[in-house]
Amino acid sequence: MAVQLLEVPGAVSKSLSGRLGAKLDSRAVQFFADYQQSHDNFLVDVDGNEFLDVYAQIASNAVGYNNPTVVKASTSNEMALALSNRPCLGVYPGAHLADNIDSIMRIAPRGHNMMFPAQSGSEANELAFKAAFFLYQLKKRGLGAEWTQDELESCLRNEEPGSPKLSILSFKDSFHGRGFGSLSTTRSKPIHKLDVPAFDWPMARFPALQYPLESNVDKNREEVESCLKEVDELMSTWRDPVAAIIVEPIQSEGGDNHAPASFFQGLQDLTRKHGALLIVDEVQTGFGATGSFWAHESWNLREPADLVTFGKKAQMAGYFFGDKTLKPDKAYRQFNTWMGDEARLIVCNAIIDEILEKDLVTKVSAVGNALYNALEKLAQSYPDRVRNLRGKGAGTYIAFDTDGAAALCNKMKLLGVNIGNCGKNTVRLRPMLIFEEKYIPRLIAALVNAFKLPDSVQPGFATF
C-alpha cells in the first residue's frame, strides 16, 4: 500500500515564507505553525498538516502546546502587568518577584540556594563565565580587598591587570551558545563560528564511546581516562589560567554524545586540583528530559556542581549556585535591564507546577524505557539504518546514527512526524515531557516508511 505523504511546506507556508524572506532571512524556516490549532504533543501548520512532535521547538517545549496550566498563567493579571510594564527587575521589581524566585528555587539542583536569571541559554553561560572570572580574581586579590586604580583604569583599555588573561575550557563537539564568550566554547557546527573573532581558550576531547556499551567496557574506560589526562595537561600548561570547565551532561548539538559518571567525577576532581570551577550546561538536558530533573544528578558528584546553567524547557534561563562567594562583591557587576523578564518567570513557575503535580519526570523515565526498547528492536531489523543507539536509562533523551540524518528527518515530516538531527549523522529524539507510550508505534512506523523512501522524496529545507 502506498504511503500518503503530506505536502510540506504547503502553499500557505510557501506564501508566508516569500513575504517574510523579503524582510528577514527565512531560509531556515521549515513551515509556519498554527499555534491556535496545535495541541499537547501535536504541532499543526498553517496548511492544516498535523505532526507528532518529537523535536518540541528544539527541545524547548516541556509540557505541550496550549497546556491549560501555562495558558492560565499566561492570561493572568500578574502576567498582564509583567508584559505591559516589563519592569527592570534589578532596580524596580514588582512585589511578586521574590515569590516567583522562591518558587523557581523548588527545583534548584542539590546544594544550590541562589540563582541569577537570564533570557537565553547563551546568555546564561556568558553570565556563568563572568561569575567564574569574578571569583577567580577575588581569590587572587584576596577576599575583601579593594580594586586598585590600575585595575580600574586598565580594564577600560582591555588591558591587564583589569582585564586579566583567563580562559574557559570546553570540549570538542560541544555547543554552549552563539554569544561571543559562549561561541568561543562552542566546538560544533562551523556555520555558527566562521568569521567571528574568538577567545584563545582550550578545547579537550569529550569521550567518544563505542557501542554497545556492555561490549566495550575496557575500551570506553581507557577512552575516559585518556580524555581526563588531556584535560589535566591542558589545565596545567595552557598559556592563560583556566577559571572554569564547562560541560554538557550529553553533548546535544554535537551529536548526542554521552559519557559515564566517572568522567564527570574526574572533571570535578581536576577543577579542585587546579583551582577552577565546574559549570554544568543543562540548557538542553535540564527540566526532566533525561528521566531526572537534572541530568547531572546521576553522576553522584562528591560535591555539588559550582554552577548549573539552564534554559530551553524552563522557558527562561539563568544559572543556579550555592557558594555565596560566587555572588559578585559589588552591585551591578552581574546585571542587565530585565534580568530574565518577569513574564518568563511566571511561565517557568507554571511549567514547574505542571511537572511536579503530574510527576512528569517519573513519566519520562518510564516512557523512555519503552521508547528505547522499541528503537532497539528497530535497530535489530535495520542495523544499517539505526546504529549506535544510545540513551538507555536517560529518559526520552535518545539518539541513533544513520546515513543522511537530515534527509531522513525531512522525510519524517512528510509522514507526519517532526523530528530533529544533530552532529554529522545523528537523529535525536526530543519529545515533550507529556509524550505517551501510545505514540511509539506511530513513530516507529514513520521511521520504517522513511527508510524506504528515496532521497529524492523530501522537502528542500536548508540544513547544515
Cα→Cα distances 395→210, 306, 361, 370, Å: 20, 25, 8, 10
206 is catalytic: no
Catalytic residue chosen out of the listed positions 312, 363, 411, 413: 312
Q: How far apart are the first and last CA of the chain?
A: 34
358 is catalytic: no
312 is catalytic: yes
Helix (H) and strand (E) counts in the chain? 15, 14
**Long-range contacts for 76-80 (Cβ within 8 Å, ≥24 apart)?**
76/346, 78/346, 79/343, 79/346
Based on its alpha-carbon atoms, the radius of gyration of the chain, rounded to whole angstroms, reads 23
Catalytic residue chosen out of the listed positions 53, 173, 281, 341: 281
Q: How far is the C-alpha of 250 from the C-alpha of 206, rounded, in Å?
A: 10
Catalytic residue chosen out of the listed positions 99, 102, 148, 337: 337
Maximum distance among all alpha carbons in the chain?
79
Residues 6/7/12/18 CA torsion (nearest 10 deg): 140
337 is catalytic: yes
Contact between residue 423 and residue 255 where contact means Cβ atoms under 8 Å apart: yes
Residues 412/413/416/417 CA torsion (nearest 10 deg): 60
Which residues are CB-contacts of 101 (< 8 A; sequence separation ≥ 6)?
115, 117, 345
Cα→Cα distances 293→80, 107, 158, 360, 416, Å: 30, 8, 40, 10, 29
Catalytic residue chosen out of the listed positions 134, 175, 287, 321: 175
Q: How far is the C-alpha of 285 from the C-alpha of 395, rounded, in Å?
A: 10
Q: How far is the C-alpha of 329 from the C-alpha of 90, rounded, in Å?
A: 16
Q: Which of 337, 335, 333, 289 is nearest to 314 (CA)?
A: 289
Residue ranges of alpha helices (H) inside 9-159 are 11-21, 56-59, 68-74, 77-85, 97-104, 121-141, 149-155
Pairing of strands 307-310, 317-321: antiparallel
Place of cell 580562559: 167
| 387-390, strands of its sheet edge to edge | 387-390, 398-401, 426-429, 420-422
Q: How far is the C-alpha of 365 from the C-alpha of 397, rounded, in Å?
A: 10
Q: Which of 368, 341, 381 is nearest to 440 (CA)?
A: 368
Active site residues: 175, 281, 312, 337
